[in-house]
Amino acid sequence: MDFSNKNILITGAAEGLGYAVSKKFAEKNANLFLVDKNYEKLVNNNLPNSKNIKCDLSHITYVEELVDNLSNKNIEIDILIHNAAVLVPKSYEDTDSKYWNEMINISLNSGFILSNYAWKIMKKKKKGIIIFVSSRSGIEGFENESAYCASKHGLEGLMKSLSIEGSKLGIQVFTITPGMFMNTPMSEHNYEDEYKKKWVDPIELAPAFLKLASGNFNDLSGKHVNAWEISKGEN
């Protein structure tokens, strides 16, 4: 697969799964627009053919400014991978509106704003790929994760609706879950030791994103996809 003629926007691209996926696409000559609040980390990663964009997705004003900048520069996104997420466990009793809004903004609201921008471009081109990174928290509920679970469940619902509309427009929409415990900075803080014994490097899950981005998996559009299962044997 070669993505040399594709503009790909990836959020949460500085480390973890986002970096692993960005690295894989860089190897396939993609034009990358990498978004993260940790700009220094993006720069230090030094991926080829990449435009590094600093943006704190917990603030919707910044996300809207990001979209305005892309639009003003006539940047047309062919593939959107919304990976950014933050999980800070908190009991429902201790969940205040500030914390709630930050969790929802990073995952769901940013996902809406970015995909809405990309959607209009993809509709004109009659093709495009949107991938929302989900997790078990998008299909189940977990203690002390009310805001995080709500945001991921929201992405699942958004994906299902967009896939129906997209089927008439040549736009494929997926949610993808790791399907395996990953060794990432976020996981380090949230996984118990028993799960850390089972975790894998995120690079092992990255091939699934290339496959979905190829446009050859229209039968999976509207589905919740397991990255581990699709990536097996590809590294």
Q: State pLDDT tens for residues 25-83.
A: 999 999 999 999 999 999 999 999 999 999 999 999 999 999 999 999 999 999 999 99
pLDDT exceeds 60 at position 186: no
Instruction: State the pLDDT confidence band at 228, using cuts at 50, 70 and 90.
Output: confident
Average pLDDT across the chain, whole number: 91
CA dihedral 112→57→34→155, nearest 10 degrees, is -30
Distance from C-alpha of 193 to C-alpha of 10, rounded to nearest angstrom: 30
- Structural contact between residues 179 and 199, judged by C-beta atoms closer than 8 angstroms: no
pLDDT digits (tens, 9 = 90+) for 115-132: 999 999 999 999 999 999
CA proximity to 146, closest of 92, 85, 88: 92
Distance from C-alpha of 225 to C-alpha of 178, rounded to nearest angstrom: 9
pLDDT exceeds 70 at position 194: no
Task: List all residues 6 or more positions away from 203 whose beta carbon is below 8 Å from its beta carbon.
Answer: 20, 23, 24, 235
Retrieve residue 232's tokens: 């097996």
Q: List, edge to edge, every strand of the sheet that includes 171-177.
A: 50-54, 31-36, 7-11, 79-82, 128-133, 171-177, 224-226
- pLDDT (mean) for 106-118: 97
Instruction: State the pLDDT confidence band at 189, using cuts at 50, 70 and 90.
Output: low
Q: Which domains are present in the chain?
A: 7-231 (3.40.50.720)
Instruction: State the pLDDT confidence band at 137, using cuts at 50, 70 and 90.
Output: confident
Instruction: State the pLDDT confidence band at 196, using cuts at 50, 70 and 90.
Output: very low
pTM: 0.92
Mode of pairing for the β-strands spanning 224-226 and 79-82: unpaired
Task: Return the higher-pLDDT residue of 33 and 89.
Answer: 33
